[in-house]
Amino acid sequence: MQVPLRPAWLALAEHARSIKHRHLRELFAADPGRFERFSLTHGRILLDYSKQRLDQQTMALLRQLAEQAGWRTWMDRMRSGEAINHTEGRAVRHADLRAGDRAPPEVKNVLGRMADFCEQIHAGTWRGFSGERITDIVNIGIGGSDLGPRMAVHALAAFEQPDLNVHFVSNLDSADLASTLTRLNPRSTLFIVASKTFTTLETMANAHTARRWVLAAADDERAIACHFVAASTNLAATAEFGIASENVFEFWDWVGGRFSLWSAIGLPIALAVGYRNFERLLAGAHDMDEHFFDAPADANLPLTLALITLWNTNFLNAHSHGVFPYSHSLALLPSHLQQLEMESNGKRANRDGLAVDYATNQILWGEAGTNGQHSFFQLLHQGSALVACDFIALGKSDFPLPGHHSGLLANCLAQSSALAFGQTVEEARAAGIPDHLLPFRRFPGNQPSTTLLLPELTPFTLGQLIALYEHKVFCLGVLWNLNSFDQWGVELGKQLAGRLAPCIRDDAATEALDASTRGLIAHLRQFRS
């Protein structure tokens, strides 16, 4: 049995049998101080987990599990630069990217170059091949080179620089790039090619197409140096592409893609909102780092989020996790967290290579409120599945209009309350619902949720928020005894695609393929032009 850290785990399993059927109504009725007891603050951030299906004994046992797992020891190993990503022999040092004055010299050097580059773009001293000012930036990347920066740029729209538009292209589907280029002028567009190896299939296909687009207008290879920069480590490949070495912004193998928006991968963020605001983003993340590293277990926000997720996953059997930011600006946060959490801890082998016999990461999904209320919230309220939820809201709107924000907050709080407490048949009858409709107007409630309140959405608080979830992922990896920093599952599909492409594009032999794939390729060949 591969139960992580057997004593506390078994104690939790026994405890779960006595509490899992208790309703949140009962838990609140039994404890008038429940909100105070099950909420935490850091600065002006409030984390309310009182609507989770747990009690003080639950939290005590979960913290025992964390101690038995050696969460602080693993934290120290990460901070010391030990290669805790043992399958790739790499350290995990993304916190060093936002360490400010204590950042490594190589990090400071790249950040300084990013600052200079942003100044050139914003001041208009960097010009395209025709001498025109740069008005549009297109980031070409995928995965961690796209999701994090795309989310942050969207989130910080209130801070965007005037007269500069930042776009993102990631999909290999030509519709993504083509629909973007149709709106742009090659004389005033600059591309950031974000690929550590400069070999990523999707990224390089899009980059080469963009290169041909620029050359069709410039008819001069020298134009590439004016319209392309890179976030990469492969200087030979970037030079062959035509990018000058001084326009290649380095990052390192100790930066995992899904943790990389703090590095040169964050260049589109710095361009979109200004380098000073990018520094504030880093500062917010650093603030959460310091909290995570220093706060005791019973006051530690990232550890608490991780313990709640483990409880819901492994002891309440909630295998789906919804993230609902009641902020349009944070609409892309669930997509970023999908990669962050599911790529990190979607594993079935523990750190020793043994198959686990317990559930690991939940399926994470979400949508900005209030849109989700009018689509899938029906399932949350009256469906048969247990779905754990995170609600995220802002004390102040980043785009204030009279009456909007108070209504938005009312909806956020109403949904978490309705999910927790539901509506009984008796309450429905007292509200005047006819008897024949009572079965349809009953809401069972008891859906667990956490509510995270930020004072406002700024570069600093966004940095805090993202780092909070990053450290949650780290803690879950420790608790489940997983390596959260490799992603071998991503590679198999890539390898197979490489073998299948010649079969679809040309007439390469298909006899060695399975019958389904052979049949699909045969059908697709009729559409080749």
Per the DSSP assignment, residues forming a β-bridge with 42 are 45
Handedness of CA 143, 144, 145, 147 (dihedral sign): positive
Residue 485 within any structural domain of the chain: no
Q: How far apart are CA 299 and CA 515, in angstroms?
A: 56
Side-chain half-sphere of 272: how many Cα atoms within 13 Å? 26
Q: Where are the beta strands (DSSP E) in 247-386?
A: 248-249, 320-326, 363-366
CATH number at residue 36: 3.40.50.10490
Q: How far apart are CA 352 and CA 342, in angstroms?
A: 20
> 60 Cβ partners below 8 Å, 6+ apart?
none
- What is the side-by-side strand order in the sheet with 45-48? 39-42, 45-48, 449-454, 387-394, 320-326, 363-366
Domain boundary among 247, 273, 299: 273
User: 261 with 303, same domain?
Assistant: no
Structural contact between residues 268 and 191, judged by C-beta atoms closer than 8 angstroms: no
Tokens describing residue 254: 């100790």
Q: Which residues are catalytic?
A: 343, 374, 494
Beta strands 363-366; 45-48: pairing state = unpaired
User: 249 with 267, same domain?
Assistant: yes
Its domain, for residue 122, covers 104-273
User: 119 with 184, same domain?
Assistant: yes
Number of domains, the chain: 3
Residue 1 within any structural domain of the chain: no
Residue 486 within any structural domain of the chain: no
> H or E segment at 456?
none
Backbone angles phi, psi at 111, to 5 degrees: -60, -40
Tens place of pLDDT for every residue, the chain, 529 residues?
Answer: 455 667 999 999 999 999 999 999 999 999 999 999 999 999 999 999 999 999 999 999 999 999 999 999 999 999 999 999 999 999 999 999 999 999 999 999 999 999 999 999 999 999 999 999 999 999 999 999 999 999 999 999 999 999 999 999 999 999 999 999 999 999 999 999 999 999 999 999 999 999 999 999 999 999 999 999 999 999 999 999 999 999 999 999 999 999 999 999 999 999 999 999 999 999 999 999 999 999 999 999 999 999 999 999 999 999 999 999 999 999 999 999 999 999 999 999 999 999 999 999 999 999 999 999 999 999 999 999 999 999 999 999 999 999 999 999 999 999 999 999 999 999 999 999 999 999 999 999 999 999 999 999 999 999 999 999 999 999 999 999 999 999 999 888 888 888 999 999 999 999 999 999 999 999 999 998 7
Sequence letter at residue 149: P
User: 309 with 241, same domain?
Assistant: no
User: 183 with 125, same domain?
Assistant: yes
Q: How far is CA 130 from CA 43, 218, 246, 327, 341, in A?
A: 50, 8, 21, 41, 44
User: 301 with 222, same domain?
Assistant: no
Q: Looking at residue 1, what is its pLDDT?
A: 43
Query: Three-class SS of residue 262?
Result: coil
Number of residues that this document lists for the chain: 529
For the chain, the C-alpha Rg in angstroms (whole number) is 25
The dihedral over CA atoms of 252, 257, 258, 263, expressed in degrees to the nearest 10, equals 40
> CB neighbours (10 Å) of residue 219?
9
User: 187 with 44, same domain?
Assistant: no
Q: Looking at residue 49, what is its pLDDT?
A: 98
> CB neighbours (10 Å) of residue 347?
22
User: 264 with 247, same domain?
Assistant: yes
Tokens describing residue 463: 């940095």
Residue 411 within any structural domain of the chain: yes
User: 37 with 126, same domain?
Assistant: no
User: 345 with 463, same domain?
Assistant: yes
Q: How far apart are CA 310 and CA 339, in angstroms?
A: 18
Residue 93 within any structural domain of the chain: no
Tokens describing residue 3: 């139960």
Domain boundary among 256, 273, 290: 273
Handedness of CA 499, 501, 502, 507 (dihedral sign): positive
Handedness of CA 238, 240, 245, 247 (dihedral sign): negative
Q: How far is CA 433 from CA 383, 415, 502, in A?
A: 21, 21, 64
Closest CA to 393 of 450, 478, 336: 450
Sequence letter at residue 252: W
Beta strands 189-194; 248-249: pairing state = unpaired
Closest CA to 267 of 247, 245, 293, 294: 247
> H or E segment at 454?
strand 449-454
Structural contact between residues 472 and 309, judged by C-beta atoms closer than 8 angstroms: yes
User: 54 with 161, same domain?
Assistant: no
Model's pTM, two decimal places?
0.97
Residue 138 within any structural domain of the chain: yes
Residue 347 within any structural domain of the chain: yes
Tokens describing residue 17: 């049998």
User: 257 with 290, same domain?
Assistant: no
Domain boundary among 480, 501, 517: 480
Tokens describing residue 432: 């005047």
> 223 Cβ partners below 8 Å, 6+ apart?
128, 129, 214, 215, 217
Beta strands 320-326; 39-42: pairing state = unpaired
Structural contact between residues 390 and 323, judged by C-beta atoms closer than 8 angstroms: yes
Closest CA to 329 of 393, 270, 276: 393
Q: How far apart are CA 19 and CA 57, in angstroms?
A: 10
Q: How far apart are CA 376 and CA 511, in angstroms?
A: 44
In this structure, which long-range contacts are made by residues 517-523, counting pairs with CB atoms below 8 Å and at least 24 apart in sequence?
Answer: none
